[in-house]
Amino acid sequence: NAGVMQNPRHLVRRRGQEARLRCSPMKGHSHVYWYRQLPEEGLKFMVYLQKENIIDESGMPKERFSAEFPKEGPSILRIQQVVRGDSAAYFCASSPTQNTEAFFGQGTRLTVV
């Protein structure tokens, strides 16, 4: 099992462009969590998805951010019209059920120039 795979590892976008971050959970895991880590801060919860459903999006900014976890394929975190303040490391984690250990990916470092 290759673990949680995130790609790309590094992403550079100009202000106003769209950023798409992908997360492939571990095999057999149907629960996915996205976290954001701004410079000098801890990881902050963004959204929790279970196949095709958003369970908890209380940490998602109200505008420009969306997430999905389709029946087939990876989970996608989409940021539209990126701004400099979106520059951060975005981590994905997955678990087989909602209360078992979640395993983290290596993260995607987004830089907005």
Partner 1 sequence: AQRVTQPEKLLSVFKGAPVELKCNYSYSGSPELFWYVQYSRQRLQLLLRHISRESIKGFTADLNKGETSFHLKKPFAQEEDSAMYYCALTPGATNKLIFGTGTLLAVQP
Binding site for partner 1 (CB under 8 A): 3-4, 31, 33, 35, 40-45, 48, 56, 91, 93, 95, 98-99, 101-107
Strands 31-37 and 43-50, bridge-based pairing: antiparallel
Indicate the residue among 82 and 107 with the shorter CB distance to partner 1: 107
Smallest distance from partner 1 to CB 13, Å: 23
Smallest distance from partner 1 to CB 15, Å: 27
Indicate the residue among 43 and 82 with the shorter CB distance to partner 1: 43
Smallest distance from partner 1 to CB 92, Å: 10
Please enumerate in sequence order all residues whose Cβ is within 8 A of that of 96, keeping only pairs 6 or more positions apart, or say none: 28, 29, 30, 31
3-state secondary structure of 60: coil
Please state whether 73 falls in left (phi above 0), alpha (psi between -120 and 50) or beta. Answer: left
Contact yes or no for 113/13 (Cβ under 8 A):
yes
Indicate the residue among 1 and 14 with the shorter CB distance to partner 1: 1
Count the alpha carbons within 13 Å of 77 in the hemisphere toward its beta carbon.
33
Smallest distance from partner 1 to CB 28, Å: 15
Indicate the residue among 13 and 35 with the shorter CB distance to partner 1: 35
